[in-house]
Amino acid sequence: MALAWYISRAIERDALHLENRTGEAARRYTQFSREKTKGSEYVNDTIRKAAKAAGVRLWQIADGLGIAEGTLIRKLRHEVSEAERQQIMEIVEKLKDRKGE
């Protein structure tokens, strides 16, 4: 009987400890996310917004660039050069014009 009580207490303690750790990790992530975007847009947000407004999917842009969708998404995680940005925006405009036809 005492062993069963001890085991149940240990399980409750471990669950509480895990819950506290998970909550702390979530708080740190939320704080990091807020600091990352504080006072500015997300990285390459103008490209994403233009594509969404034109009704163009990222896989279509990637296809126009001749790369895989995953590669484009990884590129958009960091600031792209002005030349790449211009090329992507041209592809968005072409695809937008095709949709309008």
pTM recorded for the entire structure: 0.58
DSSP letter assigned to residue 39:
T
CA of 81: how far to CAs of 24, 60, 87, 91, in Å? 37, 20, 10, 16
pLDDT band at 50 (very low <50, low <70, confident <90, very high): very high
pLDDT at 11 over 80: no
The single residue listed with the structure tokens 């279509």 is: 60
Could you report the per-residue pLDDT of 78-94, keeping only the tens digit for each?
889 999 999 999 999 99
Give the Cα separation of 64 and 90 in Å (integer). Answer: 10
